[in-house]
Amino acid sequence: MNIGIPKERRPNEYRVGLSPAGVKLLLESGKHQCFVEHEAGRGAGFRDLEYERAGASIVYSPEEVFGRADLMLKLTRPMKNEIEWLRPNSAIAAFLHLASARQDKLDLLLEKKITAIAYEQIQEADGTLPVLRPLSQVGGTIAAQTAARLLQNKWGGRGILLGMIPGVPPAEVIILGAGVVGSYAARAFRGLGAHVTVLDNDMNALQKISEDLCGVVTMVATPHNIERATAYADVVLGAVLNAGTRTPVLVTRKMVRAMKPRSVILDVSIDQGGCFETSRPTTHENPVYIEEEVTHYCVPNLSGVVARTATHAFVNAAIPYLIELANRGIEDALENIPALEMAASTHNGEIRHLSRHASGQ
């Protein structure tokens, strides 16, 4: 199989679809060819020479890397021109989040009969999302250090330290979602000394948070509790995920309006549409905006600025599935590996596992 690894073209995206170590493992597993676009790994600190030593061939135009690939390996959802470069009946694997993609992109994938494999939807029988998990861990951890910065006066924040100083209470942090992002964020915020409350409707998830993280408060995520908690928060983190569907809006504009002036919202679920009514995607270059006197940080590729760590973590989780895709072929892999079949958003010109409740970016 011909495998392509392009340069990521979204603003401030430094990760790459496969590391040199991942290329080596993939090529050693079968009779495949790998084509890497020139400087695709530069943002993550991987040189072209490292890819060549791993057995890949370097190509010097996006049209060539997309045109050669039977299977394209990206990190982020392709832009429209990248979908146009894909060969008809080829496959692409990435964190696609098509539930919040523009309709014209989805239409083009269907028209070209592209098999779109969403990493965030690779799901094992026990319900775990093994490829999404490491980037969720990175995202939850980096959210805490981001919030600490945004609370500072120079960023327009309330001038609050996350942690407690004798005689001064710590920041109040509210986390919506007790999954991987939420639990890692809770651990990081607690480590910085904040007072943390986690809300979710899954009692088992809340039980685990309560047992693992001493001092973290848990609440059931009813509308009443969300409204009450956001009103006293200094930071609200949206860490909600419904795999394959648009994230539900849990925090209304009215709730945002009732928050403290210059408090902070971080919507980590923005790549699936966001869980705040006031959320809209931003970039690492221009990460924040003010809405209802509240600072909003809604960067979809949150882990993109720790590209080397994020890429290594991703490859560790994804490489067994990529080897199966390459060695079995797309049809056989989807037919015989349920975890991969669950990840097929589009296939043979049809929508597979994808539920769209609203259009997005």
Same domain for 109 and 222, yes or no, is no
Same domain for 323 and 255, yes or no, is no
* Residue pointed to by tokens 């250090």: 145
Domain contains 355: no
Domain contains 356: no
Q: Tens digit of pLDDT for each residue in 107-123?
A: 999 999 999 999 999 99
The pLDDT score that the predictor gives to residue 361 is 31
The pLDDT score that the predictor gives to residue 245 is 77
Same domain for 218 and 173, yes or no, is yes
DSSP string, 259-280: SPTT-EEEEGGGGGT-SBTT--
Same domain for 117 and 248, yes or no, is no
Same domain for 202 and 111, yes or no, is no
The pLDDT score that the predictor gives to residue 358 is 36
The pLDDT score that the predictor gives to residue 360 is 32
Q: Tens digit of pLDDT for each residue in 209-263?
A: 999 999 999 999 999 999 999 999 999 999 998 766 788 999 999 999 999 999 9
Express as a percent the part of the chain with pLDDT over 90: 88
Same domain for 140 and 275, yes or no, is yes
**Whether pLDDT at 291 is above 60:** yes
Residue whose C-alpha is closest to residue 282's, from 269, 292, 270, 294: 270
Same domain for 219 and 263, yes or no, is yes
Same domain for 260 and 335, yes or no, is no
Same domain for 90 and 64, yes or no, is yes
Measured distance between the N- and C-terminal CA atoms of the chain, rounded to whole angstroms: 32
97 is catalytic: yes
How many whole angstroms separate alpha carbon 18 and alpha carbon 72? 10
Same domain for 238 and 148, yes or no, is yes
How many whole angstroms separate alpha carbon 286 and alpha carbon 297? 9
- Active-site position among 32, 97, 296, 347: 97
Domain contains 258: yes
Q: How many residues belong to the chain?
A: 361
- Active-site position among 70, 234, 267, 271: 271
Q: Tens digit of pLDDT for each residue in 311-348?
A: 999 999 999 999 999 999 999 999 999 999 999 999 99
Beta strands 294-297; 288-291: pairing state: antiparallel
Domain contains 235: yes
What are the backbone dihedrals phi and psi of residue 247, each rounded to the nearest 5 degrees, phi first?
-65, 135
Mean pLDDT within 288-316: 94
> Which DSSP state fits 195?
E
| Edge-to-edge strands, sheet with 288-291 | 217-220, 195-200, 172-176, 235-238, 264-267, 294-297, 288-291
The pLDDT score that the predictor gives to residue 359 is 31
The boundaries of the domain holding residue 343 are 2-129+307-348
Domain contains 153: yes
Q: What is the CATH number of the domain that holds 330?
A: 3.40.50.720
How many whole angstroms separate alpha carbon 299 and alpha carbon 289? 11
The pLDDT score that the predictor gives to residue 304 is 86
**Whether pLDDT at 12 is above 90:** no
The total number of structural domains that make up the chain: 2
> Which DSSP state fits 124?
-
Domain contains 220: yes
pTM: 0.87
Q: Tens digit of pLDDT for each residue in 120-176?
A: 999 999 989 999 999 999 999 999 999 999 999 999 999 999 998 999 999 999 999
Same domain for 180 and 327, yes or no, is no
Strand ranges, E, within the chain: 2-5, 33-37, 57-59, 71-76, 91-95, 115-118, 172-176, 195-200, 217-220, 235-238, 264-267, 288-291, 294-297, 344-347, 350-351
Same domain for 32 and 83, yes or no, is yes
